Amino acid sequence: MVFILLAITLAIWAILSMMKGKFRISPIPADEAVLISEGPYKWIRHPMYSAIFLGVIGLFTFHFSWIKLGLFLALVIVLSIKLKWEEKMLSKKFSDYQAYKKHTKRIIPFII
């Protein structure tokens, strides 16, 4: 339950922080978008993905099954591919994205 509560909290915090930068569901940055580097974005570049992983881990721990493990691994692969594609687009959109990447982690603060 703790993982799920952390996931919900992180997702809400990320959405509230992103609203300043023209939040949208699509990973393609809007023309008028600005790079957000406050809130959870101060430490991690993809807090929404972090929230998804936390929530899925929380659900996964309620009842283990090999099917759930396989689906979780598939989710990790899909989101990793999407994350790399998204970072390429953000690098093209924001000239200061490379500097931002140097002092933030992708998914887990202070680790990855």
pLDDT bracket for residue 64 (50, 70, 90): confident
> pLDDT of 26-51, one tens digit each?
667 777 788 889 999 999 999 999 99
Domain ranges of the chain: 2-21+33-102
pTM above 0.75, yes or no: yes
Q: In sequence order, what are the residues at sequence separation of 6 or more whose Cβ sits closer than 8 angstroms to the Cβ of residue 28?
A: 89
pLDDT above 90 coverage of the chain, percent: 56
Q: Helix, strand, coil: what percent of the chain each, to 5?
A: 65, 0, 30
Q: Report the C-alpha gap between 93 and 99 in whole angstroms.
A: 13
